[in-house]
Copies of this chain bind each other. A is one copy, B any other.
Amino acid sequence: MNKKELIKNIYKKKSFLCVGLDPDLEKFPSSVLKEDDPIFYFNKKIIDSTKNYCVSYKVNLAFYEKYGVNGLESLRKTIEYIPNDFFVIADAKRGDILNTSKMYADAFYVNFNFDAVTLSPYMGGDCVKPFIRDGKWSIVLIATSNPTADDFQMIKTENGIPLYMEVLNKAKAWGSSENMMFVVGGTRPDIIKKIREQAKDHFLLIPGVGHQGGNLSKIAQYGFNNEVGVLVNCSRSILYAGKGNEFFKYSKKEAERIQKEMSNYLT
């Protein structure tokens, strides 16, 4: 999916919501666990209930790899089930030497047909360059929302800027705003503002809203550019909004609530 199509979908649905499909068997209602493929069943129900309120789905690879070959099979079925007009992200945080990154790019873009992959930049440009392909997207970690993000990302370098800004500056040269996005945690609007100042045209993928406490209004205020330029991911707060056999009704309600708030910022 290209940038123009993504933006069109955002305005059409009045939503910049990305739903994170992080299936955790320990949180599943007992009725779901009785299904042949509980993960796929759960995801289907979530997709059916949320697809009117979001433009993107993000799949966290760890939650599938945990179950080995069977987990990957559930993942494959999930990707196939997502309708074509959604922007589908592999949240994989890969990053390796050139020939290995090429293999990962084949895995996610070709084998699983994802639109985008999240990438961890510690090994430099080699991590990212093989992921730059026509119609596909590299989503580079810049400033994450987790408690230990500061361990390294906020360290000041001898250039007087934090490491995350060094990463942003270099990453911009590896691709363009047509094939690269940046991950910025939703819990720190001040950082979103700084990153937006340095990356005016790029989409930002912003997790950390909901369970982690990020504020949607602040994200819109500091993150938007003149083409929206923001995808906000919610996982746990939607997936596990309610318990019991009809869990998906609560997920639907929560996705709708978020979409309604988002529509205010889009007008």
Contacts and interface: CB of A to CB of B under 8 A. Distances in A.
Closest CB pairs A-B (n = 4): A124-B151, A124-B148, A62-B103, A65-B107
A166 interface: yes
A96 interface: yes
Q: Which of A71, A97, A147 counts the most B-chain CB atoms under 10 A from its CB?
A: A97
A60 B247 CA distance: 38
Contacts of A159: 155
Nearest to A167: B152
A153 B122 contact: yes
A72 interface: yes
Given A94-B93, A124-B150, A69 B69 contact: yes
A215 interface: no
Contacts of A2: none
Contact of A120 (B69, B97, B123): B123
Interface string A76-109: 1000000000000000011111101101101100
Given A68-B111, A93-B94, A141-B123, A100 B62 contact: yes
Interface in A114-149: 120-127, 141, 144-149
Interface residues of A, number: 56
Interface string A157-198: 111100100110010000000000000000000000000000
A62 B96 contact: yes
B98 A146 contact: yes
A171 B156 CA distance: 18
A148 B163 contact: no
B148 A123 contact: yes
Contacts of A141: 122-123
A240 interface: no
A260 interface: no
